[in-house]
Structure formats: C-alpha cells, structure tokens
C-alpha cells in the first residue's frame, strides 16, 4: 500500500498572530506543521505498523510552499515517513484549496497512491476544503473528520469513525480512499533525537508545481477579535444580585 500524507506549514498553533494594518503579519513568528496533518501522519505510521512495516506500506509526505517547508518535511521523515517531496511555491504566493487539491491530484495520478490521509483542515485558513476537493478530482470515496481508523485485512477495507453532534458515525470503504483526520484521532509522539539527527542531511526531493492557478479570492480585510471587557469585582452578594438584575 502507498499512503500519501500532505502536510501544511503554518504559523505555530500556540502563537498569537499579529494583525497590523489590516493584514496578518507573520514576521518573527515560528512556523510548524499543521497539527491536524501531524495527526494524519501519526495515523499513517500506525497503519503502516499494522500492515507490517515499510515493506508492506510506504508513507510519503508532501508539502507545498516556500523553501522552509523542508524543515517540516524533515520532521516528517524523523517521525517515520519513508519519502518526502517538496513542491516549491514562492514565498508570498497563497494557494487556494482548489489549487492545492489540483497539485495533489496530479501527484497522486503520477506516482500512484492507495490512500491519502490528511488533516481535516489547516489551522491558518480553516478552509477544510482540500481533502474533499481532492477526493472529487480523483473521483475517490472520502471519509472526513476521522476520530478512529481501522483496517480490516479480511475485507481489505478501512472503517472510519467520526464524531457527530449526537454520537458517532462509522463508515467503511475499500481503497483507494481519501481520509481526513480530526483532533481526537491520536496523539503524535515526540520525535527522538537520534531520528532527528539521522534525517538532518537527507536530501528532500523538490518538484515544481504542475498546475498553477491565479488567485480567485481576494483578502479584503483581517481584524482582531474585539477586546474582552474588564472584569469588575463586586463586594457583596447583594451588589451581585442587583448587577444581574440590571442586566436582565
């Protein structure tokens, strides 16, 4: 089996992006892998172990973006992926989800994969479109927002559970398939130093995007959430009650 895991390089999830002059400023901010994609990779590696290791299932990571994406990909290799490909997109070029899906589509067709496992969304634009669009272009079935993934060797099908408002829903499908990962799917492990060191000088395959698309959406404005109102302390229960009364 060949598994493709697309990983997006995003502003670190624990940092607060700065809005200046109506645009997001990322200068000086640290970039990391999209946490949802890290979860997808962890699941791909688990699946690989279930299937009998790299000889039976290969994990290939791909990232689209500026040169710094190689850091993200090297991290993927340290975590246990066998291959990594960097699709070069110049700094400052924003790819819309459809463009990403088209590039991934070309890559999947070209190299031949059985399963694409990716995060259900990226934490920067929250679009949550890439997975479904890719499934559409490939004309593959898709299971989104997976919180549990199970491989059945008897039927050669994957069953995917996702959380719904009122409980859980489980679907099953044969390969090829697109699966998008939710937060609760797993907890990625720390990467061991020895593995980090090992991949430090491994060359990363670089390719130019086959499809380029002009940007169709224009970012009009970016704003910060409204500031929270300061808390006022009340000195007695009576005062609290009267304040609540004023509110209702």
Partner 1 sequence: MLKNLIWRQSPRVRSLVPRSFTAFYASKVPLTSESYLSLKRNDSFKRLSSDDIEYFRTVLSKQELLGSKEEGDLDPFNEDWMQKYRGQASLVLKPKTVEKVSLILNYCNEEKLAVVPQGGNTDLVGGSVPVFDEIVLSLSNLNKVRSFDPVSGIFKCDAGVILETANDYLVQRDHIFPLDLGAKGSCQIGGVVATNAGGQRLLRYGSLHGNVLGLEVVLPDGTILDSMHSLRKDNTGYDLKQLFIGAEGTIGVVTGVSILTPPKPRAVNVSFLAVKSYEDVQKVFVKAKGELAEILSAFEFMDAKSIELTRDHLKKDDITFPLEDEYPFYILLETSGSNKEHDDAKLEKFLETAMESELVIDGTMAQDETELKNLWHWREMIPESAQCNGGVYKYDVSLPLKDLYSLVEATNARLESEGLIGDESKPVIAAVGYGHIGDGNLHLNLACREYNKTIEKCLEPFIYQFVQSKHGSISAEHGLGFQKKNYIQYTKNEVEINMMKDIKKHYDPYGILNPYKYI
Which residues in this chain contact partner 1 in the complex, by CB under 8 A?
12-15, 28, 30, 32-33, 35, 39, 75, 121, 123-124, 126, 183-184, 187-194, 196-197, 200, 233, 235
Nearest alpha-carbon partner for 209 in 114, 117, 72, 110: 110
Q: Please say which residue, 60 or 79, places its beta carbon nearer to partner 1.
A: 79
Q: Please say which residue, 187 or 229, places its beta carbon nearer to partner 1.
A: 187
| Distance separating alpha carbons of residues 208 and 187, to the nearest angstrom | 33
Q: Please say which residue, 194 or 227, places its beta carbon nearer to partner 1.
A: 194
| Distance separating alpha carbons of residues 75 and 61, to the nearest angstrom | 10
For residue 192, the minimal CB distance to partner 1 (Å) is: 6
| Distance separating alpha carbons of residues 145 and 85, to the nearest angstrom | 25
For residue 230, the minimal CB distance to partner 1 (Å) is: 13
Nearest alpha-carbon partner for 76 in 113, 112, 44: 44
Q: Please say which residue, 137 or 183, places its beta carbon nearer to partner 1.
A: 183
Q: Is 35 helix (H, G, I), strand (E, B) or coil?
A: helix
For residue 162, the minimal CB distance to partner 1 (Å) is: 15
For residue 135, the minimal CB distance to partner 1 (Å) is: 22
Q: Please say which residue, 88 or 184, places its beta carbon nearer to partner 1.
A: 184
The full DSSP string for 195-227 is: HHHHTTT---EEE--S-------------PPPP
For residue 150, the minimal CB distance to partner 1 (Å) is: 20
For residue 119, the minimal CB distance to partner 1 (Å) is: 11
First to last CA, the chain: 62
Q: Please say which residue, 15 or 213, places its beta carbon nearer to partner 1.
A: 15
Task: Answer for the pair 169, 162: CB distance below 8 angstroms, yes or no.
Answer: yes
What is the token pair recorded at 175? 């390969």
For residue 68, the minimal CB distance to partner 1 (Å) is: 10
Q: Please say which residue, 128 or 137, places its beta carbon nearer to partner 1.
A: 128
Which residues lie closer than 8 Å to 192 by C-beta, 6 or more apart?
A: 78
């Amino acid at each position: 089996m060949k598994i493709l895991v697309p990983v997006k390089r995003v502003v670190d999830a624990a940092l607060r992006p700065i809005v200046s002059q109506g645009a997001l400023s990322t200068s000086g901010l640290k970039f990391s892998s999209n946490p949802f994609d890290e979860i997808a990779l962890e699941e791909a590696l688990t699946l690989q172990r279930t299937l009998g290791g790299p000889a039976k299932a290969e994990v290939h990571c791909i990232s689209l973006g500026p040169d710094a994406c190689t850091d993200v990909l090297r991290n993927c290799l340290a975590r246990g992926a066998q291959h990594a490909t960097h699709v070069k997109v110049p700094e400052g070029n924003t790819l819309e989800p459809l463009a990403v899906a088209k590039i991934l589509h070309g890559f999947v067709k070209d190299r031949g994969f059985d399963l694409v496992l990716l995060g259900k969304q990226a934490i920067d634009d929250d679009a949550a479109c890439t997975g479904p669009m890719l499934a559409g272009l490939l004309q593959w079935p898709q299971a989104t927002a997976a919180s549990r993934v199970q491989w059945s060797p008897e039927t050669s099908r994957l069953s995917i559970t996702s959380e719904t408002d009122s409980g859980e829903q489980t679907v099953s499908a044969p390969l090829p398939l697109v699966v998008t990962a939710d937060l609760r799917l797993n907890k990625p492990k720390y990467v061991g130093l020895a593995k980090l060191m090992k991949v430090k000088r491994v060359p990363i395959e670089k390719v130019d995007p086959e499809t380029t698309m002009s940007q169709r959406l224009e970012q009009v404005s970016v704003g910060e959430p409204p500031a929270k109102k300061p808390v006022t302390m009340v000195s007695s229960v009576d005062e609290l009650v009267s304040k609540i009364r004023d509110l209702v």
